[in-house]
Amino acid sequence: MASNRTFTMLKPDAIENGHMGKIIDMILNAGFEIKAMKLTQLTEEQAKEFYEVHAERPFYGELVEYMTSGPIVAAILEKDNAVADFRALIGATDPADAAEGTIRKYYAESKGRNAVHGSDSDENAEIESHFHFTAAEII
Ligand code: IDP
Ligand code: MG
């Protein structure tokens, strides 16, 4: 996959709090095109695997429990400089540190329940995209 794509999840708090439409609107208004999208709920096994890089962190158990607590929206997004531009659009991990106008500033509840995921590199964008979508599901 080319470097103009990134992967996102609207996390369970965002869906639960009714922010799905507003967040998708912000993503589209920022110039991202949706190349794949689904509403789904992660199993414990999937959440553990997706966040395996954080397995040794003290919040791993809490993170897996949260990410499996309700539906998520997974999506592949396309735009020039997608990974960096999307990280800028979502803001810092902790909403207390997130810049004005970012998705997490508006919609995150806390550092853990922070509304949205964005890939941190082109390599991870590709891995995460294929974790959630088959080739036939991607435009
Ligand atoms: P990122 O999502 O901004 O890339 P990471 O450090 O990769 O942040 O952490 C992955 C996810 O783990 C965060 O988005 C958040 O949901 C959760 N998380 C990170 N740090 C903490 C923490 O200190 N307490 C609880 N959950 C956390
Ligand atoms: Mg990360």
Spans of all domains in the chain: 5-137
User: pLDDT tens across 77-94, in order?
Assistant: 999 999 999 999 999 999
Residue nearest to atom 26 of ligand 1 (CA): 112
Ligand 1 touching residue 63 (CB < 6 A): yes
Ligand 1 touching residue 111 (CB < 6 A): yes
CATH superfamily of 5-137: Nucleoside diphosphate kinase-like domain (3.30.70.141)
**pLDDT over 70 for what percent of the chain?**
99
Average predicted confidence (pLDDT) for the chain: 97
pLDDT score for 66? 98
Residues of the chain predicted below pLDDT 70? 1-2
Contact 90, 69 (CB under 8 A): no
Q: Is the pTM of this model over 0.85?
A: yes
- Ligand 2: distance of its center to the CA of 131 in Å? 15
